[in-house]
A and B are shown apart, each in its own frame.
Chain A
Amino acid sequence: MRYETVIGLEVHVELATESKIFCSCSAKFGGEQNDHVCPACCGMPGMLPIVNKHVVDLGMTAGMMLNCDINRTTTFDKKSYYYPDLPCSYQTTQLFSPVAVNGLVDIETSQGKRQIRIKQIHMEEDAGKLVHDDWSDTSLVDFNRTSVPLIEIVSQPDLHSAEEVIAYLERLRSLLRFARVSDCRMEQGSMRCDVNLSVRPEGSNVLGVRTEMKNMNSLSAIERAIEYETARHIDAIENGTEELVQETRRWDDLKGKSFSMRTKENAGDYRYFPDPNIMPVVIDDEWFDRIKATLPELPEVKKARYMTELGLGEYDAQQLCDSRALCDCFEQAYAVCGNAKEAANYLISDCMNMLNKAGLTADQLSINGESLGKLIKLVTEGTVSRPNAKKILAALFEQDIDPETYAKDNGFIVSNDTDLLKTVVKAVVASDPKTVADYKAGKEKVLMALFGRCMKELKGNCDPQTLREVLIEEVMNS
Chain B
Amino acid sequence: MKTYLAKAAAGAKSVALDDMILTTALPTTAGSKMLDGYCSLFDATVVEKLQSAGYSVAGKLNVGEFGFDVIGESSYYGAVRNADGSYASAAALALDEGGIDAVVTVDINGAPRRSAAQSGKVFIKPTYGTVSRYGTVAVACSGETVGVMADCADSAKTVLGAIAGYDCKDGTMHAQSKIDAALRDAKPRKIAVLTGFDTDAEGQQKIEAFKAACEGAGITVEQADGTLLKSASTAWNILMCAELCNNVSRFDGIKYGYRSKDYTTIDELYTNSRTEAFGDELKAAILYGSDVLSTKNYMPVYDKALRVRRVMVEALNKLFEQYDAVVLPACSKMKYADIDVAPYAVYTENLYTAPASISGLPAVVCAGVQAVGKAFSDGMLLELAKTAEEGK
Residues from chain B with Cβ under 8 Å of A49 in the complex: 171
What residue in chain A is nearest B270 (Cβ atoms)? A82
A45, A48, A89: the one contacting B40 at CB < 8 Å is A45
Give Cα A276 to B170, complex, Å.
11
Q: Is the Cβ of B22 less than 8 Å from the Cβ of A271?
A: no
B-side interface mostly = loop
Q: Scoring B residues 30 to 61 as 1 if CB is less than 8 Å from chain A, else 0, what string do you get?
A: 10000100101110100000000000000000
A/B interface sample: 24 pairs, CB < 8 A: A44-B40, A44-B255, A45-B22, A45-B38, A45-B40, A45-B138, A45-B250, A46-B22, A48-B134, A48-B171, A80-B246, A82-B270, A84-B254, A87-B250, A88-B249, A89-B249, A89-B252, A90-B246, A271-B245, A271-B246, A272-B293, A273-B302, A277-B171, A279-B172
What residue in chain A is nearest B142 (Cβ atoms)? A276
Q: Is the Cβ of B171 less than 8 Å from the Cβ of A46?
A: no
Residues from chain B with Cβ under 8 Å of A44 in the complex: 40-41, 255-256
Task: State whether the Cβ of B298 lies closer than 8 Å to any Cβ in chain A.
Answer: yes
Q: Is the Cβ of A39 less than 8 Å from the Cβ of B302?
A: no
Q: Scoring A residues 425 to 437 as 1 if CB is less than 8 Å from chain B, else 0, what string do you get?
A: 0000000000000
Give Cα A46 to B245, complex, Å.
16
Task: State whether the Cβ of B243 lies closer than 8 Å to any Cβ in chain A.
Answer: yes
Q: Is the Cβ of B243 less than 8 Å from the Cβ of A276?
A: yes
Interface centre among A39, A46, A49, A141 (most CB of B within 10 A): A46
Q: Scoring A residues 33 to 52 as 1 if CB is less than 8 Å from chain B, else 0, what string do you get?
A: 00000010011111111110
Residues from chain B with Cβ under 8 Å of A48 in the complex: 133-134, 138, 169-172
Q: Is the Cβ of A276 less than 8 Å from the Cβ of B255?
A: no
Residues from chain B with Cβ under 8 Å of A42 in the complex: 255
What residue in chain A is nearest B257 (Cβ atoms)? A45
What residue in chain A is nearest B239 (Cβ atoms)? A276
Task: State whether the Cβ of A278 lies closer than 8 Å to any Cβ in chain B.
Answer: yes
Task: State whether the Cβ of A20 lies closer than 8 Å to any Cβ in chain B.
Answer: no
A82-B270, A89-B252 as given contacts; A46 in contact with B294, CB under 8 Å: no
Q: Is the Cβ of B266 less than 8 Å from the Cβ of A84?
A: yes
Task: State whether the Cβ of A78 lies closer than 8 Å to any Cβ in chain B.
Answer: yes
Instruction: Give the distance to chain A from B340, nearest Cβ to Cβ, in Å.
Output: 29
Give Cα A101 to B292, complex, Å.
28
Taking CB atoms and an 8 Å cut-off, the chain B residues in 235-256 that contact chain A are 242-243, 245-246, 249-250, 252, 254-256
What residue in chain B is nearest A79 (Cβ atoms)? B246
Task: State whether the Cβ of A269 lies closer than 8 Å to any Cβ in chain B.
Answer: yes
Give Cα A141 to B28, complex, Å.
24
Q: Is the Cβ of B293 less than 8 Å from the Cβ of A273?
A: yes
A88, A90, A269: the one contacting B294 at CB < 8 Å is A269
Q: Is the Cβ of B250 less than 8 Å from the Cβ of A88?
A: yes
What residue in chain B is nearest A141 (Cβ atoms)? B254
Give Cα A141 to B298, complex, Å.
32
Q: How many residues of A contact B (CB 8 A)?
A: 28
Q: Is the Cβ of B40 less than 8 Å from the Cβ of A78?
A: no
Other A-B pairs beyond A46-B42, A46-B137, A277-B138, 12, CB < 8 Å:
A43-B250, A45-B28, A48-B170, A50-B171, A84-B254, A84-B266, A87-B250, A88-B250, A271-B246, A271-B293, A277-B141, A277-B172
A50-B168, A276-B141, A277-B172 as given contacts; A87 in contact with B255, CB under 8 Å: yes
Residues from chain A with Cβ under 8 Å of B169 in the complex: 48, 50
Q: Is the Cβ of B41 less than 8 Å from the Cβ of A39?
A: yes
Residues from chain A with Cβ under 8 Å of B137 in the complex: 45-46
Give Cα A51 to B169, complex, Å.
10
Q: Scoring A residues 72 to 107 as 1 if CB is less than 8 Å from chain B, else 0, what string do you get?
A: 000000101010100111100000000000000000
What residue in chain A is nearest B136 (Cβ atoms)? A46
Q: Is the Cβ of A78 less than 8 Å from the Cβ of B41?
A: no
Taking CB atoms and an 8 Å cut-off, the chain B residues in 145-192 that contact chain A are 168-172
Task: State whether the Cβ of B295 lies closer than 8 Å to any Cβ in chain A.
Answer: yes
Task: State whether the Cβ of B260 lies closer than 8 Å to any Cβ in chain A.
Answer: no
Give Cα A272 to B293, complex, Å.
7
Give Cα A44 to B254, complex, Å.
11
Residues from chain A with Cβ under 8 Å of B171 in the complex: 48-51, 277-279
Instruction: Give the distance to chain B from A50, nearest Cβ to Cβ, in Å.
Output: 5
Instruction: Give the distance to chain B from A12, nearest Cβ to Cβ, in Å.
Output: 23
Task: State whether the Cβ of B199 lies closer than 8 Å to any Cβ in chain A.
Answer: no
